[in-house]
Amino acid sequence: MTQSDQSSYITDEPRRMTGAEMVWEALLHEGVDIIFGHPGGAILPTYDALSAHEEGGRIHHVLVRHEQCAAHMADGYARSTGKVGVCIATSGPAATNLVTGLATAQMDSVPIVAITGQVPTTLLGSDAFQESDVVGVTQPVCKHNYLVTDVNDLPQIMKEAFYIAREGRPGVVLVDICKDVQNDSGLFRYDYEIDLPGFEPYPEVDESAVAAAAQAINQAERPLIIAGHGVQLAGVSEQLRELAEKAELPVVTTLLGAGDLPESHPLSLGMAGMHGEAFANRAIQSCDVLIAMGMRFDDRITGSLDRFAKQATIIHFELDKAEVGKNIVPDIPVIGDLAKTLPDLLPQVNERKHQIWLQELKEWRDDTTQTDIINFEVDELIPPYVIRQLWHSTKDVKEGAIVVTDVGQHQMWESQYYIHDHVGQLLTSGGLGTMGYALPAAIGAQMANPGRLVWAVAGDGGFQMTLQELAVLKQERDLPVKIAIINNGFLGMVRQWQQLFYGKRYTGTPILAPDFVKLADAYGIPGLVVTKPEEVAAALEQANNTPGPFLIDFRVKEDVNVYPMVAPGSAVDDLIRRPKPVVVQGYSGIEPSW
Amino acid sequence: MKYTLVAWMRDKPGVLNRVSGMMRRRNFNIDSLQVGHSETEGISRMTFVVDGDDRMVDQVIKQLRKVVDVTRVVDISDRPAVIREMALVRVATTPQTRPEIVQVVNIYRGDIVDVAMDSMVVQIVGSEDRVDSLIDLLSHFGIQEMVRTGRVALLRGATGKRTKRSTAVWKAQASNGHHAEKEAQKA
């Protein structure tokens, strides 16, 4: 489907049609070309009205195997394009299945419109078959939601839904449409003026706050930027780079901020927080001005709030007013869209150097290199090595590969050992930490970016939560998502916590997995098992060069932990370092990143 | 400290649920919540009494403003306002106690709105304190049943210069809170 197929179809003429037809009409007006969903009773009229658009090549529907994954796919689609992702499901259990995926997207500010069918208005509240209070259930995980009980409200609600999901800090909007509304007819028009007096997507920028921020930055001797997802959402990674280079400001990022500044850039210190490098966290605890941009001081970043950057003047650039002062009270709040505040700030910041500060950071970084786990000879297959090899095999791909991680140890290793040089190339569930995210989100990202290389990296635990979506790879004409399973036979991150904090009592963490390669084979997807370090590079190359999907089951050493680690409740510089490596003479391993 | 907030919202099904759900989810402590029509058709008005500190109330206000159906939120805690509460109290009476109760109610400028053989219903409108103290007195006679509305509040006319609360909070905190603490540490 192409935009031209759509644009030749769309007309502004008000027309009579059914509610079901209105749904698609609205989606076409919003430029939606791919949706992810699963049909069922209460949404059937809408699915019926889809057939004309599918045949006309205007909208492509991806059939999921579980509704949670419809939301994750829409999420992957949205994160990798910046457009609103759309998922669709029926009432009752389908809608409740969506909840995890919606909550995942909402926590990470991902724009999604979810459409659900609902029992007819006449049955509402009667505990009818497949009825659930979807608006009630999803309210806490949505930016806004609607129950549509009159067909005449539907076009305006659809338009508002997209507007609210997309504008300001993005989020999830759910539209629950009663079945009789889908069957009823009404007049469709889409030229509504949005009138939402209670919705302020872009608060006015206080120029004096920007000036105060510039002044603080100009006076700083040990400045540090901490950049988050907001930089990517506002599309200002270029300006961030300009700012960092102009005033020589080192940059740490949050997990979702990976790639805000290319990680191979000399001013990049990589990720901070619970599994951030020691020098990145130490930089936070030693800077005199901390410039937070588009991030929300999540507890995984701050560790103990009472001991977080106490020495620093904190500047907080943030679009969502409610995030300012929620966890950390900044000295200089700069509320507003980064797309406005950052360009405003740039000319007010002086060009200068911070030689002493950068030298100090370099020394800390060199110190970390000494203990880096991949500096010593790898005779067993350890996960960091796999990740680094994945980076080697994909680093020269144009625009970078899209890497979608699941949740757990492999997710943290990916953040540490994959060098994110492209903004937005890492998709991961940062806020909610949803296991099972990787495969469906990778499918969404691949559907949205047919020409790009997409890797899903998952643990053996998380992968088993959504592996039924392998069928989608096949059904979508061999969608070329590559899958790396970091298989250690454990729910590794939980095992790590049990080892460190729960007396090594490994309750419920040893996990049996199927033979993933055979499983892939059952779906008609090729795969490989890798057990030795020397097989890694060739396997990755084979995956990259195989058209269509490919799965690699990396049988890694089971008891490797993610370090450094800030124990929950500790200050971010009070961390458990990597164990001292065994230095092997003549080792000619891969170059460390720092 | 107790704060009085007034919020205006679109009069749509489920709005009360959105607001109260957010309050519960964010672990905010509501003392009372009163909702009714405002002067504008289609807009309801809610009065909250929230127990907490400056920072929490700042969050309550901001989170309320994020609810799409909420059109406006004002903190009137430190602004001149008329704040009232109404209570209806059915108090047990005997021929001996009845005159005394009537006397007490008159002193408080309450009304007796219903009289039965062994009870009467007292209506009191006033500040929370006044309502509290009348109820205290009436409790000596035996309260059978009682209902209170919770605070409702209206700003007085033509107040002077207005400051936006959230900025005021920032300025206050920046000047003597967080920042001062750091300054002290530096010194």
- Buried/exposed A387-419: b ≥16 CB within 10 Å, e otherwise: bbbbbbbbeeeeebbbbbbbbbbbbbbbbbbbb
Does B62 sit within 8 Å of A198, measured CB to CB? no
Does B66 sit within 8 Å of A139, measured CB to CB? no
For residue range A214-250, what is the model confidence (pLDDT) as tens digits?
A: 999 999 999 999 999 999 999 999 999 999 999 999 9
Instruction: Report which of A204, A195, A196, A189 is spatially closest to residue A143, judged by C-alpha positions.
Output: A196
- CA A85, A89, A92, A96 dihedral sign is negative
Pick the CATH number of B82-152 from 3.30.70.1150, 3.50.50.60, 3.40.50.740, 3.40.30.10: 3.30.70.1150
Q: What is the mean pLDDT of chain A?
A: 94
Does A311 sit within 8 Å of B185, measured CB to CB? yes
**Residues β-bridged to residue B82:** B154
Lowest mean pLDDT among A50-59, A223-232, B173-182: B173-182
Nearest CA in chain B to A335: B167
| Residues 6 or more apart whose Cβ sits within 8 Å of residue A97 | A66, A67, A68, A89
**DSSP H or E segment with residue B32:** strand B30-37
Tell me the C-alpha distance between A40 and A129, whole Å. 12
Same fold flag, B2-79 and B82-152: yes
DSSP class per residue in A396-443: TSTT--EEEE-SSHHHHHHHHHS---STT-EE---SS--TT-HHHHHH
Tell me the C-alpha distance between A171 and A110, whole Å. 5
The answer, yes or no, to whether the previous bond of A579 is cis (omega within 30 of 0) is: no
Instruction: With a cut of 90, say whether residue B25 has pLDDT above it.
Output: yes
Other CB atoms within a 10 A radius of the CB of residue B66 amount to 20
What ipTM is given for this predicted complex?
Answer: 0.91
| Residues 6 or more apart whose Cβ sits within 8 Å of residue B147 | B87, B88
> What residue has token string 């300006």?
A239
pLDDT computed for residue B159 by the predictor: 53
Chain A residues in contact with B55 by the CB 8 A cut-off are 325, 329
Catalytic annotation present for A493: yes
Instruction: With a cut of 50, say whether residue B146 has pLDDT above it.
Output: yes
Token readout for B64 is 């309320």
Instruction: Report which of B55, B58, B53 is spatially closest to residue B73, judged by C-alpha positions.
Output: B58
Instruction: With a cut of 70, say whether residue A583 has pLDDT above it.
Output: no
Tell me the C-alpha distance between B64 and B5, whole Å. 10
pLDDT computed for residue A4 by the predictor: 55
Q: Kindly list the structural domains of chain A, giving each domain's residue range(s) and its CATH number in brackets, ordered by start.
A: 3-188 (3.40.50.970), 207-364 (3.40.50.1220), 383-559 (3.40.50.970)
DSSP A507: T
For residue range B103-133, what is the model confidence (pLDDT) as tens digits?
A: 999 999 999 999 999 999 999 999 999 999 9
Task: Compare A376 and A391 and report the one with higher pLDDT.
Answer: A391
Chain A residues in contact with B71 by the CB 8 A cut-off are 197-198
Cross-chain CB nearest to A198 (options B17, B69, B173): B69
Give the domain ranges of chain B.
Answer: 2-79, 82-152
Whether the Cβ atoms of residue A140 and residue A133 lie closer than 8 Å to each other: no
Mean pLDDT across A328-346: 97
Mean pLDDT across B157-184: 52
Mean pLDDT across A375-397: 88
Q: How many CB pairs (< 8 A) connect A and B?
A: 61
Cross-chain CB nearest to A140 (options B25, B58, B68): B25
For residue range A526-563, what is the model confidence (pLDDT) as tens digits?
A: 999 999 999 999 999 999 999 999 999 999 999 899 99
| Residues 6 or more apart whose Cβ sits within 8 Å of residue A437 | A72, A75, A104, A404, A405, A406, A407, A428, A429, A462, A466
Does A311 sit within 8 Å of B18, measured CB to CB? no
Chain B residues in contact with A311 by the CB 8 A cut-off are 182, 185
* Counts of helices then strands in chain B (DSSP H, E): 6, 9
Tell me the C-alpha distance between A193 and B106, whole Å. 56
Cross-chain CB nearest to A325 (options B18, B25, B58): B58
pLDDT computed for residue A42 by the predictor: 97
pLDDT computed for residue A205 by the predictor: 95
pLDDT computed for residue A586 by the predictor: 45
Instruction: With a cut of 60, say whether residue B73 has pLDDT above it.
Output: yes
For residue range A416-447, what is the model confidence (pLDDT) as tens digits?
A: 999 999 999 999 999 999 999 999 999 999 99
Task: Determine the topology of domain B2-79 in CATH.
Answer: Alpha-Beta Plaits (3.30.70)
Tell me the C-alpha distance between B179 and B172, whole Å. 10
